[in-house]
Structure 1
Amino acid sequence: MVFLGKVSLDDLPRYYKTADVYCSPAVSGESFGIVLLEAMAVGTAIVATDISGYRTVLTNGKEGLLVRPRKSKPLADAISCILSDKELRSGMGANGIITSQQYDWNKVARRVYDYYLEVLGKRNVTNPADDEEKSEVLV
């Protein structure tokens, strides 16, 4: 285990990629699991605490393992489990890449746009991103 201190944003993907497992033992305060998605994007298996912000992006047993917050033994066991099973680690990493792709900004923007159309009851309105020549869209 290596504690690096502050790492530049440009270097983060490289560090995530070289890790055998990414561990995030947060106990609260994570409204969304962006750090988990960053690790998933490069295929790193994850051990994280089972808090609401992390459950939104990580499925226990699929991209990694979720453990109860403030419980050191289950956390250590989950890390050991992933480190000792290369096939499991590799599979979780591959699943993480697929999951992280669902959070691509273009896909997220499209889902938000579609949601607004659904709320407004206008499902057949043209998406401005589909036609760059249009200067405005009336909904």
Structure 2
Amino acid sequence: MLMRCSSLEARHSDLFQASPSEEAPPTLSYPMLRQIVLACASLYATTASQLASVRDLPLPAAKASTSMIGLQPRIDRVNEVQMEQLQEIAHLRRKSAALIERWYKLMILAGNECWSDWEHRTAQVEREIRREEVRQAGDGAI
């Protein structure tokens, strides 16, 4: 491992040297450093556990990944079809709502107006009949 690092350092020496624009970090006292490390101690265990769980995950087979990449044009076409279907469904919902509103206005409200008109006429006829009955009853009693 040491040999690899030294060959990397030899090939890319500029990566391993601090740039002149970087400032040296401020020096902290030992109690301050201890306090920082102790404050973050629980994070070390959590991070180690997460890294161990990532290491245990199996890598998918390359064949599966390449087959999924090959499916991308098909997935894109399916997404386009789905968007068109969603737009058509939205259009049909608006159209259905307009038809239901028209049906309600023409059939229900117009029917109610018709019944209301008939009820009004029937009430007028009943009043006329009562008046006539009262008039005839008044004429017959004299």
Greater gyration radius: 2
Higher helix proportion: 2
TM range (shorter): under 0.3
Higher strand proportion: 1
- By relative contact order (CA 8 Å, sep 6+), the higher-ranking structure is 1
Q: Could you tell me the TM-score, scaled by structure 2's length?
A: 0.24
Q: Could you tell me the TM-score, scaled by structure 1's length?
A: 0.24
